[in-house]
Structure 1
Amino acid sequence: MIYIVIPVFNRKEYTKECLESLRAQTNQGFSVVIVDDGSTDGTEAMLRDEFPEVVVLKGDGGLFWTAGVNMGIRYALEQGAELIMTMNNDVVVDSDMIAQMYRWHREKPQALLGALELDASNKKPIFGGERLNWKLNTIEHLLHVLPDAERKGLHPVTHLPGRGLLIPRVVFDRIGLLDQKRFPHYIADYDYTHTARRAGFELFVNYDAKILTYPEESGERQIRSSKTFKNYYKHLFDIKGGGNLRDFTRFTLKNCPPPYVPYHLANGYARRLFGYFLK
């Protein structure tokens, strides 16, 4: 059975839509663990009254994404989970997603599997995996290079996001939990999957397993929506800022091969300092 771990803080409408899409899965071989980090919008009552089958763990209001996910993972491992999936609450799951994850897990039982991401507003693919080249400091986006006829099955990548990420227990046994100390919110999923890859685990995007997301609802998109000095500061230094310089530095020093660190840092700083105004 897959244990699906979903950290939440408010936004109960998204949580409800996510859980309803899980109820509609063709394969019901999963259990849902919600980590509610102090929601004040009625999330707790909604979960209790409408989704009694869901396990709810309570945070103290200061977990953020990584610590919340780790709390759910610890619980799942204590229950004997062999498969864990991390998921965000602003995800709507295609009805066959869990079935397709099981299907390809049987082919690659120790691999980490991500999902093909579609925009919930128009159903167009927006994320299909990336391959990072440390030497050139470039990222190849698979959606830009894969012909439509090849957008199926598994495709190898260098890292994966945590929304709809299937992780076998053996990965946790070997490398532990996510690094909540260095990466409390953003980049923790990319860091974890890079770490898993260095430890010998394969990473794939499963193009047969689809999720729908709301990209405009991300914290970074909202920060970019209004180009002000305050938002620029948040972009670079806020815990939810996509250009957070501290997180980027820690990620690079931990994951980048040493010969490429200086160039990767210089290039990355420039992109974060100036790219904010170009998007």
Structure 2
Amino acid sequence: MTPIHIVIPVFNRKEHTRECLKSLRAQTDTNYKVTIVDDGSTDGTEEMLKTEFPEVDILKGDGNLFWTAGVNLGLRHALKQGSEVFMTMNNDVVTDEQLIEKMIYWHRQKPEALIGALELDAFTKKPIFGGERLNWKLNKIDQVLEKLPESNRRGLHAVTHLPGRGLLIPKIVFEKIGLFDEDRFPHYIADYDFTHTARRAGFELFVNYDAKLLTYPEESGERQLRSNKSFKNYYKHLFDLKGGGNLRDFTRFTLKNCPPPYIPYHLLNGYTRRLLGYFLK
């Protein structure tokens, strides 16, 4: 098996990038390589990478790539190098030492599936995200983790979509559906759109409960907008490129992915949650 090619887009937050890469160095299975897409960092990220992680490939952006174009730049680089298996990852995660080993194991059982990781809170070490199942008809999302007894929190569990942090993707998926949709979704929701598209194309999606990531939920831009409530941040929540409630992105996502009979209700429900939910959470 060729190495898993891990693509990590970064913009500043040098310390997070360092800790992420240090955790990858501690893997029990080192059959991977890393490409960092540095989109205009100004905090010394590039110098740190060259000095401390010379084995990492570095691609440069001018600050206008954002998540999706950054990931795609790294994926194109990996494809040109002949990689067969890929993983997208955010820099604000710390990998469990068996992440690569457990991903490779389940990839061999399901070689054409997209596989995500179980997420743990980096501070409490408790599981916080184990995948979701979206029911378009009922406009309802079930949290897989909440329905699983602890005795069954292992192996693969089927989901309808996956986040891009720690997402394993076989090459055949790109060959069939292309890369992430950077034109419609430059930052948020591109990962959910990509995995919904892959599922419609016939690929299975799973969360691998044997492969774990430590994450920092409070580090997301959307969490920070919600924690410091103001009308300025409310506007960013709804309209900014990095706003988690971005109405444009939600509309595009719904029109592209939702079955036509359920589009009106899904839009109405989603708009209501975005317009009101900011002040309720």
What is the 5 A alignment of 1:94-243?
94-243=96-245
Number of the residue aligned with 1:76: 78
For 1:13-64, what per-residue CA distance to the aligned partner results, in whole angstroms no more than 9, with x for missing partners?
A: 0000000000000000000000000100000100000000000000111000
Aligned partner of residue 279 in structure 2, secondary structure: coil
Query: How far off its partner does 1:90 sit?
Result: 0.3
Number of the residue aligned with 1:57: 59
Query: How far off its partner does 1:226 sit?
Result: 1.1
Matching residue within 22, 25, 29 for 1:23? 25
Matching residue within 249, 252, 257 for 1:250? 252
Query: How far off its partner does 1:81 sit?
Result: 0.6
Number of the residue aligned with 1:32: 34
Please give the root-mean-square deviation of Cα atoms over the aligned residues, in Å. 0.4
| Aligned counterparts of 1:227 and 1:4: Cα–Cα separation in 2 | 35
Identity %: 77
| Aligned counterparts of 2:235 and 2:41: Cα–Cα separation in 1 | 26
Aligned partner of residue 170 in structure 1, secondary structure: helix
Query: How far off its partner does 1:227 sit?
Result: 1.2
TM-score (norm 1): 1.00
Matching residue within 241, 262, 271 for 1:260? 262
Structure 1 unmatched runs, 5+: none
| Aligned counterparts of 2:249 and 2:36: Cα–Cα separation in 1 | 26
Aligned pairs, number: 279
| Aligned counterparts of 1:167 and 1:225: Cα–Cα separation in 2 | 33
Number of the residue aligned with 1:90: 92
Amino acid at match of 2:187: H
Amino acid at match of 2:249: D
| Aligned counterparts of 2:229 and 2:37: Cα–Cα separation in 1 | 33
Aligned partner of residue 113 in structure 1, secondary structure: strand
| Aligned counterparts of 1:210 and 1:143: Cα–Cα separation in 2 | 13
Amino acid at match of 2:108: R
Moved over 2 A (4+): none
Structure 2 unmatched runs, 5+: none
For 1:112-140, what per-residue CA distance to the aligned partner results, in whole angstroms no more than 9, with x for missing partners?
A: 00000001011011100000000000000
For 1:195-228, what per-residue CA distance to the aligned partner results, in whole angstroms no more than 9, with x for missing partners?
A: 0000000000000000001000000000001110
Query: How far off its partner does 1:238 sit?
Result: 0.6
| Aligned counterparts of 2:129 and 2:146: Cα–Cα separation in 1 | 10
Aligned partner of residue 275 in structure 2, secondary structure: helix
| Aligned counterparts of 1:222 and 1:125: Cα–Cα separation in 2 | 21
TM-score (norm 2): 0.99
| Aligned counterparts of 1:87 and 1:267: Cα–Cα separation in 2 | 30
| Aligned counterparts of 2:7 and 2:150: Cα–Cα separation in 1 | 31
